[in-house]
Amino acid sequence: MENDMNLAHDTVMASLLWLGHSFRLGVPSWVLTELVTRAEHPQTPRYVLGLSKRGKKYGIVNEYAEMKGYEFSWGTLSEDINVYEDVQGNNPIGRFEIFPTNLLQTFRNSALVEDLFLWLYDKHPLSNTEFEGEESIGDWFVLSFSAEGERQIGRLRTWLAVTFLPRIMPDLLAEATRIINEAKAGSVEKDGKALHDPLVETIRFQLCS
């Protein structure tokens, strides 16, 4: 029953994406908590909430508060359409970024997950050379796609809604989860302290065989 409900929900979201009817996403509350309470390099509440001078400019609230996109059962897809002037007039650039909430909540190292998603998409049989996977701009996003010009943005939007989300994304999530779980099983501890933690980044693409 839950899978059927998730499928119905995701189908509706994909349809809204195809039509371009995005809505405001905001900052995930668990990310705010994670940034303040994590053991390594915690941030102050004032910085995270944008109450300090530097936090107001660079904090997570400034980055995500006005973000628009679509909510799926596995997380969110953001949408950012900007227009700039060139010699041919106004030319839009569209960027769409993947935020796998469920995966990030259990494994909070977005850099390693980003490398993993880039690698998995590149080797997926349905990956499209017209729509290359790119590193994300958003701190907690793991994969992005972009296009320039109304026609190309429309093509990208359709491909995301019709092919990527229903046919590729489930495979990426399943394979990423499998690889991360196997890596967790390979951790080594002594006296309750980690001697080897494969989920702590030491080199790029370390989760990718």
Residue 196: what pLDDT? 61
Residue 195: what pLDDT? 55
- Tokens at 93, concatenated: 């650039």
Residues 108, 140: Cα–Cα separation, whole Å: 9
Any idea what DSSP says for residue 167? Answer: I
Element (H, E) at 112: helix 110-123
Q: What amino acid occupies position 70?
A: Y
- Tokens at 78, concatenated: 């953001």
Bridge partner residues of 93 (DSSP): 82, 148
Q: What amino acid occupies position 95?
A: R
- Indicate the burial class of 4 (C-beta count within 10 angstroms; 0-12, 13-18, 19 or more): exposed
- Mean of pLDDT over the chain: 87
Low-confidence ranges of the chain (pLDDT < 70): 1, 84-89, 138, 187-197
Q: What amino acid occupies position 184?
A: K
Residues 15, 36: Cα–Cα separation, whole Å: 36
Residues 145, 96: Cα–Cα separation, whole Å: 5
Tens digit of each residue's pLDDT (9 = 90 or more) over 153-178? 999 999 999 999 999 999 999 999 99
Mapped onto helix, strand or coil, the DSSP state of residue 108 is coil
Total-model pTM: 0.86
Tens digit of each residue's pLDDT (9 = 90 or more) over 49-72? 888 888 888 778 877 888 999 999
